[in-house]
Amino acid sequence: MDASQTNVTLRSLVQTARLQLQTHYPAPEAGALADAMCRHLFGYSRTEVVLYGDRTVSDTAGWQQMLDELMRDRPLAYITGEAEFCGLRLHVGPDVLIPRPETEELVDWILRDNPEGPTSRRMLDIGTGSGCIAVAVAVRRPAWHICACDVMPGALATAARNAEDIHADITCLSYDILSDTPFPAADSLFDTIVSNPPYVTEAQKAEMQPNVLLYEPHTALFVSDGDPVVFYRHIARFGRSHLKPGGRVYVEINETLPDQTRQMFLDNGFGDVRLRKDINGKWRMLRAGL
């Protein structure tokens, strides 16, 4: 059945898409993509497709266009312009990475270490991208003062848009953590610094999926093989002079370099450095305290 024809049933449309997507994606992922397409374009969940699948769809041009783009490896989040993170619906585009579930675990670590209370805290999100970390924390800790910085204007615009739409109170600033220049804020001392910096080495490119390599911004992903912990070195140095006493740094890390990243923070004067595995058992997070 050609998905571009009119007056097809919802059930047939989804089933046909699943079969076509299975020629390019693993079956579970193909099913999830077809369900997400249906939810985005027609507002029907997977359960509702089962219940109301005999309803006809008269205009499927948008459906076919989305299906064609998926078959060309374009990520669904870039097609729809949105992604879910920590229960929030965020704007995303080619200037920012698509938020990942493992980054949600980093947010959870921060929140668990800092229960909600009357005391306000200051947090800085370095390389904020879509603003997903800063916005998610701001929603759950509304009393905190949160800054989000990035070197890319498009990323800052996306972060600011997400903060505005979700009514999250964050301040977006242009700053290059690799520059070692003064931080552009009057109060540059923080209780918490968090970052999901570029950490994928050039040698690891061959292991990545086409939908990542072809569409997501390489400047937010990759570092050189010769200095894979360059961002962590600058973050650690920044933290030494911009953390309040007892402050902590939280970062997402390359799963193949946990010991090297940990040693980087120890070498820069952090005495309490802890690694944590993600839900899949991979070393993906680090917390460092002064």
Strands 122-126 and 190-195: parallel
pLDDT at site 35: 95
pLDDT at site 1: 43
Check whether residue 265 and residue 139 sit in a common domain.
yes
Q: What is the rounded average pLDDT for all residues in the chain?
A: 94
Domain boundary among 52, 72, 92: 72
Check whether residue 197 and residue 59 sit in a common domain.
no
Residue pLDDT, tens place only, 162-172? 999 999 999 99
Decide if 1 is inside a domain.
Answer: no
Amino acid residing at 255: E
- Which of 252, 249, 255 lies closest to 285 in space, CA to CA? 252
What is the pTM for the complete model shown? Answer: 0.92
Query: Which two structure tokens, joined as six digits, stand for 274?
Result: 């802890």
Check whether residue 251 and residue 177 sit in a common domain.
yes
Residue pLDDT, tens place only, 3-24? 445 678 999 999 999 999 999 9
Give the rounded percent of residues in the chain with a pLDDT score beyond 90. 90
State yes or no: pLDDT of 269 exceeds 80: yes
pLDDT at site 10: 92
pLDDT at site 257: 97
Range of the domain at 243: 83-289
Check whether residue 160 and residue 42 sit in a common domain.
no
* Between 154 and 60, residue with greater pLDDT: 154
Decide if 143 is inside a domain.
Answer: yes
Decide if 285 is inside a domain.
Answer: yes
Mean pLDDT of 179-201: 95
State yes or no: pLDDT of 2 exceeds 90: no
Check whether residue 35 and residue 136 sit in a common domain.
no
Check whether residue 174 and residue 60 sit in a common domain.
no
Check whether residue 141 and residue 262 sit in a common domain.
yes
Domain boundary among 72, 103, 124: 72
Phi, psi angles (nearest 5°) of residue 285: -140, 150
Decide if 117 is inside a domain.
Answer: yes
State yes or no: pLDDT of 141 exceeds 60: yes
pLDDT at site 186: 85
Decide if 77 is inside a domain.
Answer: no
Decide if 2 is inside a domain.
Answer: no
Check whether residue 124 and residue 217 sit in a common domain.
yes
Check whether residue 133 and residue 205 sit in a common domain.
yes
Decide if 251 is inside a domain.
Answer: yes
Check whether residue 132 and residue 236 sit in a common domain.
yes
Check whether residue 177 and residue 265 sit in a common domain.
yes
Residue pLDDT, tens place only, 64-101? 999 999 999 999 999 999 999 999 999 999 999 999 99
Check whether residue 63 and residue 150 sit in a common domain.
no
- Which of 231, 173, 170 lies closest to 200 in space, CA to CA? 231
Helices (H), 183-242: 210-213, 230-242
Domain boundary among 72, 105, 124: 72
Q: For the chain, what is the domain count?
A: 2
Looking at residue 205, which CATH number applies to its domain? 3.40.50.150
Residue pLDDT, tens place only, 19-49? 999 999 999 999 999 999 999 999 999 999 9
Residue 144: partners with Cβ closer than 8 Å, 6 or more residues away? 120, 121, 122, 123, 137, 138
State yes or no: pLDDT of 215 exceeds 80: yes
CA distance linking residue 66 with residue 60, whole number of Å: 10
Residue pLDDT, tens place only, 56-69? 987 788 999 999 99
Query: Which two structure tokens, joined as six digits, stand for 42?
Result: 């027609």
Decide if 45 is inside a domain.
Answer: yes
pLDDT at site 5: 52
DSSP summary character for residue 26: -
